[in-house]
Structure 1
Amino acid sequence: AFAGIANLFHLQARRIYVPRGYCYTAGDEGACMWMLPGGDAGFSLPDYAAFVFPTLWHCGPRAVRRGIRTGAAMDSRHPNFPHAYLFSIGVRETARGKGLGRTLIQPVLDACDRQGLPAYLENSNPANTGFYSACGFAPLGDPIHPEPGSPPLVPMVRQPRRS
């Protein structure tokens, strides 16, 4: 399963978030990927092929089906209002607990505040709820359950802060 997830994240970084979104790193210790309002995070037919064939080979047809269903479930709940979308943020285990996550996320949140724009994400890890809450995010509706037994994705939104 890890090979399929790794392939999907690399694919989305290379084909969607780097060329069409807003991505940045903190050396090799952390990174985040955003899609700004008006951006296109959609998959093209070649993107689907680049996902399906390696995932099928390494993980089997159930992983492909799970990936497609998860994407569809996320799309169906994605808000229609203009917002900055935090697709992913990650910090190497050795760099955690030092404020790097906040350093990574804060520049776009500050820009959202200046523009009066909400930020949105789907929290896939309950351990991150406190971090996102401390950054001003709050749950938005019920969790997303792409398939029975799958971990829930919790939609969260952060309203812009007035200075």
Structure 2
Amino acid sequence: MQISDKNREARGIALTAIICAVLQLAIAPNVGLGNGRANLALVFAATVALTSGGGRAVVCGFFAGLFYDLSTTGPIGLMALLLSVCGFALGGEGRNRLSGEFASGILLFVVSDLVVNVGYGLGLMLAGQGGGFVDAVFLRALPGALLSLVCFLPFAYFESRIRTSGPSLGGGHFKRGL
């Protein structure tokens, strides 16, 4: 039986948001593969969508995308739109996909990661801020998707372990993690 503790979920989302924001501003611009950079706003939005789902995922996706748009030189609103749609698509079931179906959650992230990064690369190309199609897709979007996946894996593992090892019904003791 899974007990819903709203304060615990809100604290977890706030902590994940702070960690992703700091990493997005401090680390992501300096570590790249080709022209691609890790998108930690996508990592945050997908983590919330796959663990909480529902309307919370869409709202968190929008604000994470807006934060990403304001911290880069890209067009404002493009990543907010993409992450809102991503949050809606990933969080549609409104349940924790990472606790019971970890591989399925990772596969959903990979697909959404590719769609968001390619969509953003093409959006930059159409706005005149990227190079051609090859630069937008093969030199920017695909390496960025790979780096985002690498950044997502620790968050997904942590969320899957912390959600399944919460307080039990018998006296408030904690279950063993591993």
TM over 0.5: no
Normalised to the residue count of structure 2, the TM-score between the two structures is 0.28
Structure 1 or 2: more helix by fraction: 2
Report the TM-score when normalising by structure 1: 0.29
Higher strand content, 1 or 2: 1
